[in-house]
Structure 1
Amino acid sequence: MNWYEKLNQYFPVQEMKSKEHMETLLKERSDVYHKDEGPYHVLMYAEFPNFSFVDYLFVSAESRGMGIGKKTLQMLKDKNKPIILEVEPVDYDDSDSEKRLRFYAREGFQHASSIGYSRRSLATGEENVMEILYWAPNGESEEEIFEGMKNMYENIHTYKDEQFYGECYDPVAKVLTFEEEEKDNILEAVAKPV
């Protein structure tokens, strides 16, 4: 199974970029968009001067618990700049969503609770509400994370979107919001011992 098939089987359709989109990013935006792949993992990420963005991180079920996810993230942490990623809110009917959040909490990620993120899926037409997590080695603020997300959205998610999907994603101002009043921290519930 190739890297795209692994991602496509694991991630919901509303979160997936097309294979053509990702291959074009790897080719035309190779200055920032990268793939790290091994027998048990696939990491698609963008690296900008002042932050890294995890687009997709897949670790095969049979290798979980072997530290592959931790080692893969450590490669990005060693760059000593913030790491930003999108996650689905906890779905208690999907045990993977809670495990995923618990993993990121253990890895020192924080919930960007002042950032709202809702993107219409071009595959399904439905609104897809996501949460933003970040790792801030130098105490970077949520405002800085917000600016990084806007940069990533405009340079990665919407890169040639009309060419690949026949229509454009919504503009960044409609997709990302910054609220002074923070939402509930989604990592608190999963970080507490049971």
Structure 2
Amino acid sequence: MHWYEKLNQYFPVEEMKSKEHMESLLREHPEIYHKDEGPKHVLMYVELEDFVFIDYLFVSKASRGEGLGHKLIDKLKRKGKPIILEVEPIDYEDSDSEKRLKFYKREGFEHATSIGYSRRSLATNELNALEILYWSPTNESEQKIFEAMKKTYMMIHTYKDKEFYGRSYQPVEEVLTKRDNHDDLLEDI
């Protein structure tokens, strides 16, 4: 199965970039947008000078529990930069959502409780709220994570959005916000 189809079958439509969008990033920005693919996984990530952003991480159900996800995260950790990703809050109708959060907690990720992230899907027109998780070898502040997310949103998520989707995503100021007193998603897991 093609790498895009693996991702498309696993991730919700409102979180997926189009195949053209991702292939364009790989082709036009190979210095920052990367694909690590194997028979049992697909990892799409952005690497900039001061952080790594995991765009998509898929490990096949058949190979879960074999340590493959840990190996992929460990490979990124060895770069010595903060690692950032977006994740859905727990959905009790989707057993994978809690398993994902437990996995990232085991890997040492923290919840950026001061960052709000909500964008309208161009595919469904629904508002999609996600949470930001991060791992840092140097105890980065959530402010630095916030700035890195803004950069990712503008460079990657909205890259040629009008060309690929016929309209633009919301401006970064509407999507990423600072917030107070938000519960830690990973606390009770």
TM-score (norm 1): 0.97
- State the distance in 2 between where 1:174 and 1:61 align: 35
Q: Any idea what SS the aligned residue of 1:186 has?
A: coil
Take 2:94 and 2:21, find their aligned partners in 1: how far apart are those partners?
28
What is the SS of the residue equivalent to 1:4? helix
Q: CA deviation at 1:128?
A: 0.2
Task: Tell me how far apart the structure 2 counterparts of residues 107 and 13 of structure 1 sit (CA, whole Å).
Answer: 26
Q: Distance in 2 between matches of 1:169 and 1:30?
A: 23
Q: What's the RMSD between the two structures over aligned residues?
A: 0.5
In structure 2, what is the Cα distance between the partners aligned to 1:29 and 1:108?
Answer: 29
Write out per-residue CA displacement over residues 124-145 of structure 1, whole angstroms, 9 at most, x where no aligned residue: 0000000000001100000000
Deviation at 1:105, TM superposition (A): 0.2
Aligned to 1:169: 169
Alpha-carbon distance in 1 for matches of 2:154, 2:75: 25
CA displacement 1:26-71 (0-9 Å, x = unmatched): 0111111000001100000000100000000000000000000000
What is the Cα deviation at residue 182 of structure 1?
Answer: 3.1
Question: 1:126: which partner in 2?
Answer: 126
Please state whether the residue corresponding to 2:22 is helix, strand or coil: helix
For 2:148 and 2:48, how far apart are their aligned partners in 1? 9
Shift of residue 19, structure 1, vs aligned partner:
0.2
Counterpart of 1:150 in structure 2 is 150
The structural deviation recorded for 1:3 is 0.2
2:153 maps to a residue whose letter is Y
- Provide the rounded CA distance (Å) in 2 between the counterparts of 1:39 and 1:182: 42
State how 1:25-174 maps to structure 2 within 5 Å: 25-174=25-174
CA distance in 1, matches of 2:151, 2:108: 23
Q: Which residue of 2 aligns with 1:182?
A: 181
CA distance in 1, matches of 2:35, 2:27: 11
| Counterpart residue type for residue 11 of structure 1 | F
How big is the shift at 1:171?
0.4
In 2, the alpha carbon distance for the partners of 1:37 and 1:76 equals 14
Match of 2:5 in 1: 5
Q: Does 1:14 align with 2:14?
A: yes
> What displacement does 1:115 show?
0.0
Distance in 2 of aligned mates of 1:49 and 1:27: 20
Quick one: distance in 1 between partners of 2:188 and 2:63? 26
Runs of 4+ that moved beyond 2 A: none
Inter-partner Cα distance in structure 1 for 2:97 and 2:188: 13
Cα drift, residue 76 of structure 1: 0.5
Residue 42 of structure 2 aligns to a residue whose secondary structure is strand
Which amino acid counterpart does residue 182 of structure 1 have in structure 2? N
Counterpart-to-counterpart distance in 1, 2:5 and 2:174: 31
- Measure how far apart 1:13 and its partner are: 0.3
- Over the matched positions of the two proteins, sequence identity in percent amounts to 67
Distance 1:135 1:155 in 2: 21
SS of residue paired to 1:91: coil
